[in-house]
A and B are shown apart, each in its own frame.
Chain A
Amino acid sequence: MNNLLKFLIKFRATFLFIALEVIALMLLFTKQSYQSSAFFSSANIVVAQLYSMSNSVVEFFKMKSDNAALAEENTLLTNKINELENTIVMLKEQNMGVTHVFVPAENDLHYISAKVINITTNRQKNYLTINKGSRDGIMPGMGVISAEGAVGVVKNVSEKFAVIIPILNPELQLNCRFKATDYAGPLVWDGADYRFANLEDIARHVELNNGDTLVTSGLTSTFPQGIPVGVVENNTLNESDAYYHIKVRLAVNFRTLTYVRVISNANSAEQHQLEQQ
């Protein structure tokens, strides 16, 4: 016993090292409880406050280009509203009798605007932090888009902040399809360049060209159908391959991403519950 104690004391640093290393690797590789806790992420109140403070300084320098982008988006939206109003007037004139029109269940959406306060693009697993949280109605699993296209999915939520897994993270496999042909496959980032990702599982019989547009598939309740994801940059198909190697230029420029919208789907809980049965 005495000898054992002496042994333990003599090598206490080594034992402590092994114990700490095991804890660290457990934190790294267990995916459930710690990973989803808001405390151990940048949704942590202290960390997020710090980020939003530093962001308010950086923001000042980005204001000019942000303003231009917002003005452009506003014009686009005004045109769309105008167009839709004209359509409504036209439809009203055509059939006066119809009174009951249901909105399609998957389109019953509500957008929550948020500002990106921290983002990385040069890591293997990138994350971004936004300044809206559970008190604004954000929940884990919601989709996030920007004016340019699909951004990612909400991971951790604290009261005032949320962490998002963007497309630039292999943990997220965004299901998307070709706008023209409807063939769908998962989009996976390989960790190399923040401008490109790879589209997988597109069988060799599919006809495609460089420059084809990819949009979200709408097969999950996270994203509605038809949100731009990117365009095909180049594609290769070797003799022996069953699937294409497709390189996709992403629609969103993650380097300059400033404002995002979180999609709150009113019917996603109902859909999920139904699928569980």
Chain B
Amino acid sequence: MNDVLSNILRFIIMVMVQVLLVNNLQVFSMCYPMIYIYFLLILPPSIPRVAELLIAFACGLVMDIFCDSLGLHTAVCTLIGFVRPQIITAMVTDYERVNLSIGIQSLGMATFVKYVTLITILHHVTFFMLESFSLAHWHWLLLRIVVSSIVTIAFILAIEMVRNRIR
């Protein structure tokens, strides 16, 4: 029960931070970091797959309502919700410890960075491809994906480190 509550709280906080702070960081046109996926990244792996899909779908829908991009975040988040369990199984050897939670502590720094990078890049590639839905400005698209991914990964790692330090 406590776990559910803390996850709901984390969801609200991540959406607020994304919508009210990060969306306003419009320094460069090619930089659109989406740090709210941190919420999806560290959902406990013990969660049932059906529940995870529904949570990811809801998370995307809420983001879409805030960003006026109906369907876009929803489609990408649902994809992340679907592939995440498989990525975890593929990456993790010490499954017993990870079953409790996902983070730097349980995965170790190197694996956690790999895990975050993989999912972030998957998310950003599908997001920006769906958003522009053409390869006419492919160099621009590539630049957006690369810059936004780097910023998102940096943000997520920073948040995770701060969270670890506090704990």
- Residue B32 at the chain A interface, CB threshold 8 Å: yes
Contact partner, A28, options B65, B75, B82, Cβ 8 Å: B75
- Residue B138 at the chain A interface, CB threshold 8 Å: no
Give chain B residues whose Cβ lies under 8 Å from the Cβ of A12: 50
B68 and A24 contact, CB distance less than 8 A: no
- Residue A5 at the chain B interface, CB threshold 8 Å: no
Give chain B residues whose Cβ lies under 8 Å from the Cβ of A44: 65
Q: How many A-B residue pairs have CB under 8 A?
A: 98
The interface centre, meaning the residue of A40, A124, A163 with most chain B CB atoms within 10 A of its CB, is: A124
B68 and A192 contact, CB distance less than 8 A: no
Give chain A residues whose Cβ lies under 8 Å from the Cβ of B67: 42, 120, 123, 127
- Residue A125 at the chain B interface, CB threshold 8 Å: yes
**B56-76 residues at the A interface, CB under 8 angstroms:** 57, 60, 64-72, 74-75
- B-side interface size class: 35 or more
A27 and B70 contact, CB distance less than 8 A: yes
Distance between A28 CB and nearest chain B CB, rounded to angstroms: 3
Distance between B151 CB and nearest chain A CB, rounded to angstroms: 12
- Residue B6 at the chain A interface, CB threshold 8 Å: no
Interface size on A, residues (CB 8 A): 40
Q: A121-134, CB under 8 A of B: which get 1 and which 0? A: 11111010100000
- Residue B31 at the chain A interface, CB threshold 8 Å: yes
- Residue A63 at the chain B interface, CB threshold 8 Å: no
Chain B residues packing against A (C-beta within 8 Å): 19-20, 23-24, 26, 28-32, 49-50, 53-54, 57, 60, 64-72, 74-75, 78-79, 81-82, 128, 130-132, 137, 140
